[in-house]
Chain A
């Protein structure tokens, strides 16, 4: 077990995840590539079925084993994570790469006290026990905003949703991971509590130089917390860029349509809502012969159905998968 020295970057290359059952096969994730530099917060955004959760689960090998087939490469620094034997992967999980999930209700074992769950992590990865472990736990809980000893002895059902999520964050950070994967951690929390958790995550990232892969469907949350954004649709990346730029001026019609169909609390009357017609495409096992968004795209034109566009650079730091000229994107469709 190597000691984490300098922080490593996470490199995902050509990640594809297919689920094969007797009836059909589905390419849930298709050729996804991205990097997360140390200290960066990258948002992974999309609606249900876009593949964002499957992507994040595959990084730690947590995808459904029976039907799932993963190809590509996922590297933490120099170390390849994909295909790592279970015994090795276990050493990475919770240690160098941690994950927190959406539902604080089911993320903690209802039969174990907080100190037992935190203690398990410390013992497993750092060989810490007894007083030293307890000290570390208390420190960590304090950092996530749960000061005091009483909470250590509590069972999850005695804690509120927000507090449970804080405990999960504490558990994830005990071993000072280099990368934290957060899968919609605030979606099930109240707005005022969500605000606290987002602040907490922002602060912790700064203090520890940790990178975060933040999965969400909420563009507002992503705008607040993330440095960069990756937009996914139908299992592939359709646009990436720095969050402020991307949300201010999207260069892919899907991102644009998503923004236009989100009610904006800061605009008078909630802004104008333009729903995206139709439904997301049904994923199959075959490669696409046209742009995945063509059927619903307000900017669809000649050439969109001739083949899937490649992910290309449209501006410094901006990638997108679309043939519509950038200048066209600057005016309404």
Chain B
């Protein structure tokens, strides 16, 4: 140790290097970036309209004109998958952002102060955990008017507000352990204020875990949104909605397989990528894996 001819590398930089050596994570990241770009940019640049109905061209299988085929109203499935993807990804990200914000703050405070404060705060979390999850989400959704229900805001509020519980628990656990680490005690000994200790000493060492769990939370949120779509409570146009529509028209006579397959494939690939990235992040940030 002490080879000081090598360049200075912060722990984050070292983690990043480990991450890019992980082929699964890199592949996942590439795939995810491609899909995100496609879903966001293509409709914009090519001025594609997902609601453009052409009833005369309904239920056509994939062809050179309609790459993914058309649905029951003659809408281009390819366009709908792209735009739906935009929605799903956005919902996933936004909900996760909400749950990270709320969960981290809550968990950090509980873990930092410990004792009675922690007990009280975690009782609340335990209580809310005990409530049936879907029930809560549906309740929240129903609070919005009929018209608002197709929008994104209610959905990602509902999802985010329930997901924060897990994040709070995780962060609280990490903070609780870190709080007793000697370098944190040393900061306290130096006379640093609680806020400073929490923000400058504890949280930077928890960020790794937060990032990993957030990355793994996005897929589960996307799936939840899909489930909501199944129940008719999801956003108007998302992958989940498309899958739900695709399932609805399955019948023994005509299988409109493209209506189900394409959104499912995109959904599946996104989830897979996110999982690979999340796993890669976890391995990269694991302090036991020293360079």
Contact = CB atoms under 8 A, between A and B. Distances in A.
Interface string A267-299: 000000000000100100000000000000000
Categorize the interface residue count of chain B. under 10
Q: Is chain B's interface secondary structure helix, strand, loop, or mixed overall?
A: loop
B145 interface: no
A23 interface: yes
Interface residues of A, number: 3
A282 B291 contact: no
A279 B291 contact: no
A23 B291 contact: yes
A286 to B, nearest CB: 15
Interface in B247-291: 291
Q: Is chain A's interface secondary structure helix, strand, loop, or mixed overall?
A: loop
Contacts, number: 6
A282 B1 CA distance: 7
B7 interface: no
Interface string B1-33: 111000000000000000000000000000000
Contacts of A279: 1-2
Contacts of B2: 279, 282
A279 B2 CA distance: 9
A23 B1 CA distance: 14
Contacts of B291: 23
A329 to B, nearest CB: 30
A282 B2 CA distance: 8
Contacts of A23: 291
A32 B2 CA distance: 26
A209 B131 CA distance: 69
B134 to A, nearest CB: 39
Interface in A188-244: none
B18 to A, nearest CB: 11
Interface string A1-32: 00000000000000000000001000000000
Nearest to A22: B21
Nearest to A278: B2
A305 B3 CA distance: 21
Nearest to B2: A279
A23 B291 CA distance: 8
A279 B1 CA distance: 9
Contacts of A282: 1-3
Nearest to A279: B2
Contacts of B3: 282
Interface in A17-61: 23
B24 to A, nearest CB: 17
Nearest to A21: B291
A2 B2 CA distance: 49
A282 B3 CA distance: 8
Interface in B129-188: none
B15 to A, nearest CB: 15
A109 B1 CA distance: 33
A43 B131 CA distance: 64
A134 B2 CA distance: 53
Nearest to B1: A282
Nearest to B3: A282
B170 to A, nearest CB: 26
A279 B4 CA distance: 13
A23 B2 CA distance: 16
Nearest to A282: B3
A23 B290 CA distance: 11
A211 B3 CA distance: 40
6 contacts: A23-B291, A279-B1, A279-B2, A282-B1, A282-B2, A282-B3
Closest 6 CB pairs of A and B: A279-B2, A282-B3, A23-B291, A282-B1, A282-B2, A279-B1
